[in-house]
Structure 1
Amino acid sequence: MQSTANYLWHTDDLLGQGATASVYKARNKKSGELVAVKVFNTASYLRPREVQVREFEVLRKLNHQNIVKLFAVEETGTSRQKVLVMEYCSSGSLLSVLESPENAFGLPEDEFLVVLRCVVAGMNHLRENGIVHRDIKPGNIMRLMGEEGQSIYKLTDFGAARELDDDEKFISVYGTEEYLHPDMYERAVLRKPQQKAFGVTVDLWSIGVTLYHAATGSLPFVPFGGPRRNKEIMYRITTEKPAGAIAGTQRRENGPLEWSYTLPVTCQLSMGLQSQLVPILANILEAEQAKCWGFDQFFAETSDILQRVIVHVFSLPQAALHHVYIHAHNTVAIFLEAVYKQTKVTLQNQEYLFEGHLCALEPKLSAQHIAHTTASSPLTLFSMPTETPEGLAFRDPALDIPKFVPKVDLQADYNTAKGVLGAGYQALRLARALLAGQELMLRGLYWFVNMAGMPEIQELKGAAELRAKLRTLAEVLSRLSHNITERQLSLSSLSSELARDRDQVHEDRSIQQIQCCLDRMYLIYKQFRKSRMRPGLGYNEEQIHKLDKVNFSHLAKRLLQVFQEECVQKYQTSLVMHGNRMRVVHEARDHLRLVACSVAAYSTEAQGVQEGLSKILDWLSHQLLQDRTKAAQASAGPMASYSCPALKDLGLHMEELCEEMKLLAFDLQDNNRIIEGLSRAQSASDV
């Protein structure tokens, strides 16, 4: 046990160790509060006095939720070693998060955005106080859980930090080599003499490498055999990187350098976020300090991302989920344009459903009027399909599974198990995404067919009444009605088929099978992780270890078999069926639009008939009035007793005809309302 006046810790509770200090989990002697203590070793006192006290001075100057707090500076009782008492972050570091097998291919999008927000906020506080960190890396970004279960990341380890304004330079070298700016790498790692001075933008390079690592699970610049195997190639990759490239690798010994301008397909970030993030990475991973962005532009561009809201859009023609990043103050027109950039569906062809209802998006309105969406409850985009839907793009996890070496090598076996487990978690994520994609395909098309997607059907049901009342159009409307009935039967059959397939998706057990394999593999992986710390194994333990390797390989094989046969094959089949169904729906809809156009044309003729009949009715009414007047005059004269019976019959007949014409006029007015409804439906569908 070791202690200061107020804090106590055990040397077994080591949290981290560096060249000049070790960090332990400790407790306040009075309150029992957990803290982290940084205890400086003998080597730290060989540094100049101003360097020794720099970390204390920097931390005292900082106060931010994304910077690890300094509580006190104390000394140990016996050796009088300096001790920094700091905030304890119980969830490890960003590096420990990335080292977990389930994050082998990078963080989920939500968690990555939390990292980005916290790092940007913490770095902004450093720049406001004129501090350069000089050792930004995942291991120096601590994680703790907030009261509502959210992650909070905090910058720590200010041993290399110093005060430096934007236009100042420094010449001393600090940092971790994989995250070092190339100019610092040249002097610190390659030991080449050079007189370059460094500015605050060296932190931006380290941030770029850290963000790439968080997004992909891998470092951006990797020579054959790893970053520390061939340091000259590592330096070449970082300095020869073309403009716009964000990663470089050497796949074989003495092989060529390969450049990447996008994030890998295994990355969990959506294309909507990637399109915003990649330009930032390209401009801060710039070896020439003169070409690299400054912090002002970095903060402006990252803040622009963090201030945007996400609208989830599932494109039925592509069978793909999109994350559309827009500002809340943008108009709907800007949102529609952003959808076009991701889906290539033109604005006039974009139709939306939300939770089974038509969603009319007025371009001039604010984007705040768009419904609140999630990945499981997105806007559904309906448009004319051009070919078989592309669906979710992914890399087969089987390509990323390493093989066990035949001999017992505890460290190698642990690394292999970790790699296999990482690929297994990736397969589980993909299986869930494929299943969710099938659900969104079936649900969206089902909604469109049954609820909101066919407004023409509801309006055209009135065509039967129009047919009965307008005798001259009976034959044409009868044929149209028959066509509508046929299409309705076809769509009803498709609706039943979609409902049946959705039930099958819900009953799919592949996710549970993959999860079961992963759980059993994880238990073996934990045993390998424990065994690698031992100097060796006894005979019986070694036999069990070998058996575990065999079982681990069998489980991985079973997992991939389920993924390929139960997930991928079913998903690919569903994509083909989805494309065919989309074409059926579009053919039915196009036909109904033609019917609506025909009805609109006949409505003009019907309106002409109505106008003609109205004129006749007016003339007959006028004539009847005149005849009644004449009859009244005649009854007053001496010839009244000799009035013609035929004239009375004609008057009665005209009255009956007038009543019939009134009834027909009422019918025509009713028909006209139906026709107007059909015309409005046609206009809405054209829009």
Structure 2
Amino acid sequence: MEKPPFRQNQVCGSWLMKERLGTGGFGHVYLYQNQETSEKIAVKLCRLELNAKNKDRWSREIQIMKKLKHLNVVTAKDVPEEMMHIALNDLPLLAMEYCSKGDLRKLLSKPENCCGLKESEVLALLNDVGSGIQYLHENKIIHRDLKPENIVLQDINGKLVHKIIDLGYAKDLDQGSLCTSFVGTLQYLAPELFEGKSYTVTVDYWSFGTMIFECCCGFRPFLHNLQPVQWTSKVRNKGPKDIMAVEDMNGEVRFSTRLPYPNNLSRTLLEPLEGLLQLMLKWDPVQRGGGLNPETKRPQCFALLDQILNMKVVHILNMTTTQVHSFLLSPDEGLHSLQQKIETETNIELLNQELLQETGVMLDPRKPAAQCVLDGRGWDSYIVYLFDKSLTKYSGPLTARTLPESVNFIVMTAENSASPSQE
């Protein structure tokens, strides 16, 4: 007997279907909520028209999902018994944790992100997705379809966490084995796949690098207005450190080793991030990622990623010029040393510097300069406001209450600006 067609708002015992979350290559994903406990889960149903090969991929995705457990990879859940009957065929359902903040594509599509995400958002993505990819590779799994649509956001204790989803194209990888099947989303696909060549985990490096570039600048790195079959022949001969290609009005392709401006990255982060992209966007798949570190046996790109994430950076907003100055701090650097750097760059003498936290509280001279950095990482830092006491009529420590209205306006403008000065 044929199963009845799937109906909107279908009730499965205590579970109510709320909405369709999306459609993938193999099936549809629906949001279900338990009417008794309010628990929400995402349920993926396989489409009827899958051929034998794709049915095998569907089953493999469920097998892979069930054996993975990592904060940055979406978690598989047990399918509630009441839902077993809604399967459209003889293939099993896939139940997953529900991530309520949408996917990375939704975030990138917001008008305010047309020139890329905020620096803190870029670094959070590097941390989360990089960790998830390394976990998959350590478990001998190539994702093969990394793209913004397959990165979802979840609110965990007030913090947005990125999670990798959709392992329908993922492949178990025995150490040293090569894959030759052509899969994945074209715009984020590594170039060797267009040529039908064998490939390894480095295809995920290319996809990740493409996403990083897009998150920094708002568009993909290589001739983003063309389809991959059009741009591969034009980009094939790029230099080993080129991370961007654009076509001018005469049809000539111009390459660059630098990230384009405007973007929302501080000067301190630009160079190391460009170095990371230079490793991940190498055309040669053997050289891509920089190879393995002979001592740690880890890919060089992930060693550099760790260095970037462990940088302690403080952002100083000069209230006189409204420019943001970013400083890289050494592990035990004192506040006096930071103030000397500030004096060199801003010409505000150390004795005339007044440094205030966002709350209006002065920085403590007895504590290290890294007191401005939350959780020991620069990407969790916040702006410190710098005042030149020689230019203010106020005596004694400045506080948020004593700031004149015009200064408060400058503070709001600086905080909301799309791209702080990198000078």
TM-score range (shorter-chain normalised) is 0.7 to 0.9
2:278 equivalent to 1:282:
yes
Residue aligned with 1:44, SS: coil
2:28 counterpart letter in structure 1:
S
Q: Work out the CA distance in 1 between the residues paired with 2:370 and 2:43.
A: 50
Q: What are the Cα deviations for residues 636-677 of structure 1, in whole angstroms up to 9, with x where unaligned?
A: xxxxxxxxxxxxxxxxxxxxxxxxxxxxxxxxxxxxxxxxxx
Q: CA deviation at 1:28?
A: 3.6
Q: Which residue of 1 aligns with 2:230?
A: 233
Q: CA deviation at 1:268?
A: 1.0
Say if 2:59 and 2:92, in contact at 8 Å, map to a contact too: no
Q: Which residue of 1 aligns with 2:299?
A: 296
Q: Kindly tell me: are residues 46 and 270 of structure 1, through their superposed partners in 2, closer, same or farther at Cα, counting changes over 3 Å?
A: same
Q: Kindly tell me: are residues 179 and 300 of structure 1, through their superposed partners in 2, closer, same or farther at Cα, counting changes over 3 Å?
A: same
Match of 1:96 among 95, 103, 106: 106
Q: 1:209-220 residue pairs with structure 2 within 5 A?
A: 209-220=210-221
Q: Which residue of 2 aligns with 1:247?
A: 244
2:374 equivalent to 1:377:
no
Say if 1:35 and 1:86, in contact at 8 Å, map to a contact too: yes
Q: CA deviation at 1:287?
A: 0.9
Q: 1:14-413 residue pairs with structure 2 within 5 A?
A: 14-28=20-34, 31-47=37-53, 50-73=56-79, 75-77=84-86, 79-80=88-89, 81-147=91-157, 149-165=158-174, 167-184=176-193, 186-187=194-195, 194=196, 196-222=197-223, 226-228=225-227, 231-252=228-249, 255-293=251-289, 294=291, 296-314=299-317, 320-329=323-332, 345=345, 351=350, 353-355=353-355, 368-369=368-369, 371-372=371-372, 376-378=383-385, 380=386
Say if 1:246 and 1:262, in contact at 8 Å, map to a contact too: yes
Residue aligned with 1:110, SS: helix
Q: Work out the CA distance in 2 between the residues paired with 1:328 and 1:109.
A: 21
1:307 counterpart letter in structure 2:
N
Instruction: Give the TM-score of the pair, scaled to structure 1.
Output: 0.49
Q: Work out the CA distance in 2 between the residues paired with 1:247 and 1:18.
A: 29
Residue aligned with 2:94, SS: strand
Q: What are the Cα deviations for residues 427-485 of structure 1, in whole angstroms up to 9, with x where unaligned?
A: xxxxxxxxxxxxx5xx5652699779xxxxxxxxxxxxxxxxxxxxxxxxxxxxxxxxx
Residue aligned with 1:311, SS: strand
Say if 2:209 and 2:280, in contact at 8 Å, map to a contact too: yes
Which is greater in Rg?
Answer: 1
Q: Work out the CA distance in 2 between the residues paired with 1:54 and 1:450.
A: 69
1:137 counterpart letter in structure 2:
K
Q: What are the Cα deviations for residues 76-115 of structure 1, in whole angstroms up to 9, with x where unaligned?
A: 4463353211111111101101111121221111222221
1:328 counterpart letter in structure 2:
P
Q: Which residue of 2 aligns with 1:558?
A: none
Q: Work out the CA distance in 1 between the residues paired with 2:52 and 2:205.
A: 30
Q: Work out the CA distance in 2 between the residues paired with 1:208 and 1:157.
A: 19
Cα RMSD for the two superposed structures: 4.0
Matched residues, percent identical? 26
Say if 1:21 and 1:44, in contact at 8 Å, map to a contact too: no
Q: Work out the CA distance in 2 between the residues paired with 1:326 and 1:507.
A: 29
Q: Which residue of 2 aligns with 1:679?
A: none
Q: Work out the CA distance in 1 between the residues paired with 2:324 and 2:30.
A: 45
Say if 1:4 and 1:77, in contact at 8 Å, map to a contact too: no
Say if 1:70 and 1:86, in contact at 8 Å, map to a contact too: yes
Say if 1:6 and 1:29, in contact at 8 Å, map to a contact too: no
Say if 1:316 and 1:445, in contact at 8 Å, map to a contact too: no
Q: Work out the CA distance in 2 between the residues paired with 1:510 and 1:69.
A: 39
Q: Kindly tell me: are residues 503 and 24 of structure 1, through their superposed partners in 2, closer, same or farther at Cα, counting changes over 3 Å?
A: closer
Q: CA deviation at 1:49?
A: 5.8
2:30 counterpart letter in structure 1:
Y
Q: Kindly tell me: are residues 283 and 4 of structure 1, through their superposed partners in 2, closer, same or farther at Cα, counting changes over 3 Å?
A: farther
Higher relative contact order (CA 8 A, sep 6+): 2
Q: Kindly tell me: are residues 94 and 64 of structure 1, through their superposed partners in 2, closer, same or farther at Cα, counting changes over 3 Å?
A: same
Q: Which residue of 1 aligns with 2:378?
A: none
- Which 5+ residue runs of structure 1 have no aligned equivalent? 188-193, 381-439, 453-500, 516-562, 564-570, 572-687
1:182 counterpart letter in structure 2:
P
Q: 1:5-16 residue pairs with structure 2 within 5 A?
A: 8=15, 10=17, 13-16=19-22
1:83 counterpart letter in structure 2:
L
Q: Kindly tell me: are residues 283 and 79 of structure 1, through their superposed partners in 2, closer, same or farther at Cα, counting changes over 3 Å?
A: closer
Q: CA deviation at 1:313?
A: 3.4
1:156 counterpart letter in structure 2:
I
1:305 counterpart letter in structure 2:
I
Q: Work out the CA distance in 2 between the residues paired with 1:7 and 1:360.
A: 55
Q: Kindly tell me: are residues 344 and 277 of structure 1, through their superposed partners in 2, closer, same or farther at Cα, counting changes over 3 Å?
A: farther
Q: Kindly tell me: are residues 158 and 265 of structure 1, through their superposed partners in 2, closer, same or farther at Cα, counting changes over 3 Å?
A: same
Q: Which residue of 2 aligns with 1:488?
A: none
- Of Structure 1 and Structure 2, the greater strand share is in 2
Residue aligned with 1:15, SS: strand
1:446 counterpart letter in structure 2:
L
Q: CA deviation at 1:201?
A: 0.7
Residue aligned with 1:259, SS: strand
- Of Structure 1 and Structure 2, the greater helix share is in 1
Size of the aligned set, in residue pairs, is 382
- Which 5+ residue runs of structure 2 have no aligned equivalent? 1-6, 292-297, 374-380, 398-402
